[in-house]
């Protein structure tokens, strides 16, 4: 769907954001809508910049595995599942991750661009 929108509109951000909102809506839960939409944006950009769907799938797997691991550890430490789900500390840590994610995208684009230039012999 992202490819279709991008080819027909020529606008990267429109295609990524629309598909990210749909990605979040498909989970059929209002709780966490914005964080899933943000994840959708990251996954969409990974796909757009790399051209490889498997990288987005891997990032989605790592995100979900990390969430399950954090919930498991919290539950093992005696927290109830309701307390784990209501914990807002992860949301605040997510805001701290934003600059890291932006930095990683910038580095990825630089490295990708440099490797393309080297491959072309320019």
Domain that holds residue 51: 2-87
On whether residue 61 sits in a domain, the answer given is yes
Residue 83 is assigned to a structural domain of this protein: yes
Helix (H) or strand (E) holding 33: helix 33-50
Res 51: pLDDT: 85
Q: Is residue 42 in a domain?
A: yes
Number of domains in the chain: 1
Would you state the pLDDT for residue 30?
79
Mean pLDDT by 10 residues, the chain (122 residues): 90 92 87 86 89 90 88 84 72 74 83 60 51
Dihedral sign (CA 39, 42, 48, 50): negative
d(C-alpha 58, C-alpha 1), whole Å:
19
Is residue 110, in this structure, part of any structural domain at all? Answer: no
Residue 102 lies in a domain: no
- pLDDT value for 21: 94
Q: Is residue 121 in a domain?
A: no
At residue 91, the pLDDT reads: 64
Predicted TM-score (pTM) of the model is 0.74
């Amino acid at each position: 769907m992202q490819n279709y929108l991008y080819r027909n509109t020529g606008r990267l951000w429109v295609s990524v954001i629309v598909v990210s909102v749909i990605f979040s809506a498909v989970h059929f839960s209002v709780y966490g809508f914005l964080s899933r939409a943000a994840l959708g944006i990251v996954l969409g950009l990974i796909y757009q910049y790399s051209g490889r769907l498997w990288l987005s799938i891997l990032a989605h797997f790592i995100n979900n595995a990390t969430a399950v691991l954090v919930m498991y550890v919290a539950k093992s430490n005696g927290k109830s599942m309701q307390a784990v789900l209501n914990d807002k500390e992860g949301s605040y840590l997510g805001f701290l991750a934003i600059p890291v994610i932006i930095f990683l995208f910038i580095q990825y684009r630089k490295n990708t661009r440099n490797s393309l230039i080297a491959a072309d012999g320019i």
